[in-house]
Amino acid sequence: MRVRFFPILVGLFGIVMFVRLFSLQIVSDEYGDLSLKNSVLKQYVYPERGYIYDRNGKLLVSNQPMYDLMVVPKNLSAFDTLNLCEMLGLTKQQLIDKLTKAKRYSLRAPSVLLAQISKQDYALLQEKMWKFPGMYIQRKSVRAYQTNVASNILGYISEVNYFDIETNPYYKQGELIGRQGIEKTYEKILRGQKGVSYLQRDKFNRIIGSYKDGRLDSLPVPAQDITLSIDIDLQEYGTKLLANKRGGILAIEPNTGEILMSVSMPTYAPNLLVGRERSENFKVLKQDTLNRFLFDRSLQGQYPPGSPFKVLNALIALEEEVITPKATFTCNSGHFYARNQFMECKCKRGTINNLDRGIHKSCNTYFSNVYRRIIDKDNNAPDGMNTWHSHLGSFGLGNYLGYDHPVGQSGYVPNANFYNLWYPNQRWRGATTVSNAIGQGEILMTPIQLANVAATIANRGFFYSPHFVKGIQGDFIDSRYKTKRYTTISTKHFDPVVEGMANVVKKGTARVAAVRGIEVCGKTGTIENFTKINGVRTQLTDHSMFIAFAPKENPKIALAVIVENGYWGGRWAAPIASLVIEKYLTGDVKRKWLEKRMMEGSLEAEYAKITSNEPFTINE
Amino acid sequence: MNKLARFDWSSLVLCVVLVCIGLVNIYSVLYNANDNSLALSYIEKQVTSLGLGTALIIITQFLDTRFFERYASIIYLLAIVSLLGLWLFGTEVSGAQSWYSIGGFSLQPSEFAKVAVALALAKHLGDFNTQIDQTRDYIGAFLILGIPAILTLLQPDAGTALVLLGFFLVLHAEGLPSFFLLILIILFVLFLSTLLVGIYWVMAAVFLLAILYIGLQSKRKQKKAVFPALVSVVLLCGFAYSVSYIFEEIFEQRHRDRFNILLGKEVDTQGIGYNINQSQIAIGSGRFSGKGFLEGTQTKGGFVPEQQTDYIFTTIGEEWGFVGSALVLILFLTLILRIVRVAYKQKTTFARVFCLGFACTLFIHVAINLGMVVGLVPTIGIPLPLISYGGSSLLAFSVFLGIYLRIAYQRMA
């Protein structure tokens, strides 16, 4: 035993050491990272973020330098604090706090003393930097917006958050990422690919050379510029027309699917989200639940489509051969669609309407009958409903259109199942769901869907997926934006409907939308809508809606306009649409009086009713 | 029998391999792509020491075995004198007065004292009059160990003192009553628990154990047991109290910190725990196969202090990974066990005790050094034999190896 004691001790030590080395080097994986954190500095080289242009080559978004005042506490020596405070607009205590914070972070590593100094302060400071040893100025690149509109399209960039870093290994703390809009959709194109060089650090955080002789380093891949399909002048014009109103305008070029404008009001100037006041501004925008600045009404707003939906019912009815363009229905200022159930209409008693008159007079009775014929075809409401549903689906309704912007809503189109749940045992017919005939039932559509319907009618039966980007630095965009998407409606059925829409402007509900020398086709909408005020369902003033395209032959623009609580379609939406059309097609607007009325008209009083806590009347 | 075959080639080869590993890693620690003169000058110095050591080994092979036995006392006295001389002529390096500087060289006599103590112990035990289980003889042995141990502890050089204390293992192997080893273990446990839970709890525990001990005795023996139990309680409490006193009053904060870090009482990776933390990061980041020669980021960045000397193992761990560090560990274990095996083949007690002394010295060095770099033992400045940079250590182990080889060769004669 005595003889063996020492060798056993040696053996025991061997086992303990072996286990310890095994656990340190094989089992535990934290040390590898720790050593890299310790001694290898990854220095990134960022390519400049890509520029964004409008369809006419106007620069919308570029970059600008911002300056951070950095400090290395170890290298500080006595300096004129008063002088520095004056230049930076800080109190002495603030400066001391910031310095203390920097010291606590690290004595040898640089930290930010003051972020995002303006160009003016920078100019002043730069000359005197020699007075402040241990401090230096670091240049940073942020976005510079050359326009005050289109913030809903362009979106914004912001620093990556924890979630981004967790889900995408490309991003590191403090880097920027496209957070919304085009900046988000085309993030990879706009940012390029950062380059990286690995540097070996010593224990004092000094760089002592490149790591592994630069074998791991990579060069940055430059970012690409993007040309939008947006016409920024038109966007600006639309924004002005919608001033002091809530709503949206979305215009599409029918024969390409390019989105010409996408106005959502109220909006904010994109420059608000740049610079030192960014977070303060963002909070204000985010917290306004009435104006909803960050809510894109043209893409996300879901409204009952109202009367413009009638043209879709007309198309489906023609395709299903339940009517001919010449078929007539009699309207008696409305009609009974069931016992004691009367639907009003603006037609005089005894009016006889065919398709053309039905459209341009927006006759409820006519379209109720049309709708019931579609649904009750072969006396089978569920089949009729599903046929109707699939026709609408071919227009992209009830679904996302596949455009290149991160926000949106699918809208809603009911099918037979939906009503089977509401009315068990199939006790429902066309008449049960007759509100759908005039776009007031369960259907929801977004302005971009409405505009796309207008574009589809303009094209007589097909559309391209709408999109915001025209080109990416020479290369053209995704092929899916160049593929025609045909609807299930035959081309021949479009002509009578287009005729009716032309008459809407010529002699129908939107004569105000007529533009001299251009044949405009459109359809008004006056949309009943409700909200809950203190838990009580309350009807509000109707939304004013208009869809249109022009010119009638070989259309260049198709659009949808909604003005929330603007009352009838011809009051706000139709004039605004026609002004946009005039502006886009002629480059100038002759009807200054109309333009003035639209720009200066305000609906703020209307919106104030909801929050006034007092009883109010609507549609006045 | 072939004369050359009798020579212990395997131990020599093991030592040569370890020295080469040392040179490679010292070079890597000091390597600088821009200006490599520092690394080269260190290597040059180390190779010079190596040359001197080789010369010593060769010379030793031509001496008679009886020479060592005969002059062991004189060598031992010389060592004691050289340790005492440090008080007068020593140079202070990083807080410890344990160096002679002669011309451009500095020499650490405590390194050589280990050889001297091994020789003196071997001579003492080898005397046919000596019976290690007899009081007079083991006290003699204790004195041989104790005097240089106290002298080195006063420098202060706790590492060397601990190595000398390690010779207890040799004494135990040679027949020292197990009682002493037991005492050592008890004192060690007391020492640790005093630091961990505090003096009062330890005293209470000792008291309770004593009462338990008395209570468990049969009635007849109870009265007899009271006195020795009381004496033990007083002695043990006295020890615990003195540990606490020394720790709190005599130790400087840096010593206290070293223990506290190890006992997990304080966690501070930037200040006092920096060494241990950084060396563990270095070793741990090597993973299975290491980062490769000259590729260690911890090593290049100089994050581990004293890396060419006491912390040389961190470079091995970082650049050669688990494969490299386990290999070094296995080489050392093989060498130590090989020497122990050779020791028990010796015909004379002198030879056996000296060989065991060599094995024991190696073992304590390796155990404390490796234990320290992987964070199992508190920071005690002690080099890794044959690998660490440092002339005195290398020369001392050369002498050790030389005498060992000579003795091992002699055994059949």
Name the residue with higher pLDDT: B184 or B365. B365
Q: State residue B267's pLDDT score.
A: 52
- CB-based contact, A3 to chain B, within 8 Å: yes
Name the residue with higher pLDDT: B228 or A352. A352
User: Is the CB of A7 less than 8 angstroms away from the CB of B340?
Assistant: yes
Name the residue with higher pLDDT: A276 or B335. B335
- Mean pLDDT within B139-158: 86
Q: State residue B332's pLDDT score.
A: 96
Fold of A38-66+111-120+135-228: Penicillin-binding protein 2a (Domain 2) (3.90.1310)
- Mean pLDDT within A44-64: 90
Spans of all domains in chain A: 38-66+111-120+135-228, 232-268+298-611
A interface mutation test: which of B34, B285, B358 has the most A CBs within 10 A?
Answer: B285
Q: State residue B268's pLDDT score.
A: 52
- CB-based contact, A4 to chain B, within 8 Å: no
What are the tokens at B210? Answer: 């004593």
Measured between CA atoms, the residue of chain A closest to residue B343 is: A3
Task: Give the residue ranges of DSSP H helices in B107-134.
Answer: 109-126
With contacts defined as CB-CB under 8 Å, which chain A residues touch B302? 202-203
Measure in Å the smallest separation between the Cα of B358 and chain A Cα atoms: 13
User: Is the CB of B287 less than 8 angstroms away from the CB of A208?
Assistant: no
Q: Which of A6, A9, A32 sits opposite B285 (nearest CB)?
A: A32
Name the residue with higher pLDDT: B34 or B325. B325
Q: State residue A577's pLDDT score.
A: 94
User: Is the CB of A25 less than 8 angstroms away from the CB of B284?
Assistant: yes
pLDDT at B83 exceeding the cut of 60? yes
Question: Letter for the amino acid at B163?
Answer: V
pLDDT at A500 exceeding the cut of 60? yes
pLDDT > 90: percent of chain B: 37
Residues B275 and B273: their CA atoms lie apart, in Å, by 6
Contact A5/B172 with Cβ under 8 angstroms?
yes
pLDDT at B49 exceeding the cut of 70? yes
Residues B144 and B176: their CA atoms lie apart, in Å, by 15
With contacts defined as CB-CB under 8 Å, which chain B residues touch A10? 333, 336-337, 340, 363
With contacts defined as CB-CB under 8 Å, which chain A residues touch B295? 212
Element (H, E) at A114: strand A111-117
- CB-based contact, B374 to chain A, within 8 Å: yes
- CB-based contact, A537 to chain B, within 8 Å: no
pLDDT at A471 exceeding the cut of 50? yes
Name the residue with higher pLDDT: A43 or B45. B45
Measure in Å the smallest separation between the Cα of A110 and chain B Cα atoms: 18
- Mean pLDDT within A540-554: 92
The CA-based dihedral angle spanning residues A373, A378, A382, A383, taken in that order and rounded to the nearest 10 degrees: -100
- Mean pLDDT within B254-264: 64
Q: State residue B272's pLDDT score.
A: 58
User: Is the CB of A39 less than 8 angstroms away from the CB of B300?
Assistant: yes
What is the interface size between A and B, counted as CB pairs within 8 Å?
120
- CB-based contact, A2 to chain B, within 8 Å: yes
- CB-based contact, A42 to chain B, within 8 Å: no
Q: State residue B271's pLDDT score.
A: 59
pLDDT band at A115 (very low <50, low <70, confident <90, very high): confident
Residues A481 and A470: their CA atoms lie apart, in Å, by 10
Q: Which CATH architecture has domain A232-268+298-611?
A: 3-Layer(aba) Sandwich (3.40)
Measure in Å the smallest separation between the Cα of B380 and chain A Cα atoms: 17
pLDDT at B335 exceeding the cut of 90? yes
Contact A466/A408 with Cβ under 8 angstroms?
no
Question: Letter for the amino acid at A417?
Answer: N
pLDDT at A64 exceeding the cut of 90? no
User: Is the CB of B321 less than 8 angstroms away from the CB of A25?
Assistant: yes
Measure in Å the smallest separation between the Cα of B204 and chain A Cα atoms: 32
pLDDT band at B95 (very low <50, low <70, confident <90, very high): low
pLDDT at B413 exceeding the cut of 50? no
- CB-based contact, A44 to chain B, within 8 Å: no
- In whole angstroms, how far apart are CA A4 and each of A510, B159, B175, B335, B337? 109, 26, 12, 16, 11
Residues A263 and A153: their CA atoms lie apart, in Å, by 8
The average confidence (pLDDT) of chain A is 88
- Mean pLDDT within B306-323: 90
- Mean pLDDT within A131-150: 86
pTM beyond cutoff 0.90: no
Angle at B330 between CA B325 and CA B333, to 5 degrees: 130
Q: State residue B185's pLDDT score.
A: 82
User: Is the CB of B321 less than 8 angstroms away from the CB of A7?
Assistant: no
| A130: exposed, middle or buried (Cβ count in 10 Å: 0-12, 13-18, 19+) | exposed
Contact B387/B197 with Cβ under 8 angstroms?
no
* Residue A523: closest CA among A310, A331, A283: A310
Instruction: Walk across the sheet containing A40-45 and list its strands.
Output: A40-45, A195-201, A207-210
pLDDT at B50 exceeding the cut of 90? yes
* Residue A502: closest CA among A489, A511, A490, A493: A511
Q: Which residues contact B201 (CB under 8 A, 6 or more apart)?
A: B193
pLDDT band at B266 (very low <50, low <70, confident <90, very high): low
The dihedrals phi and psi of A529, each to the nearest 5 degrees, come to -150, 155
User: Is the CB of A35 less than 8 angstroms away from the CB of B284?
Assistant: yes
What is the DSSP code string of B270-325? TTTTHHHHHHHHHHHHTTTT-S-TT--HHHHTT-STTTTTTTHHHHHHHHHHHHHH
pLDDT in tens, A158-208: 888 888 888 988 888 778 899 999 999 999 999 988 888 887 777 776 777
pLDDT in tens, A417-463: 999 888 887 788 888 899 999 999 899 999 999 999 999 999 999 99
pLDDT in tens, A69-85: 888 888 788 888 888 88
Residues A505 and A570: their CA atoms lie apart, in Å, by 10
Spans of all domains in chain B: 1-33+267-413, 184-251
pLDDT > 70: percent of chain B: 93
Contact A451/A481 with Cβ under 8 angstroms?
no
Name the residue with higher pLDDT: B252 or A64. A64
Q: State residue B253's pLDDT score.
A: 72
Residues B123 and B399: their CA atoms lie apart, in Å, by 17
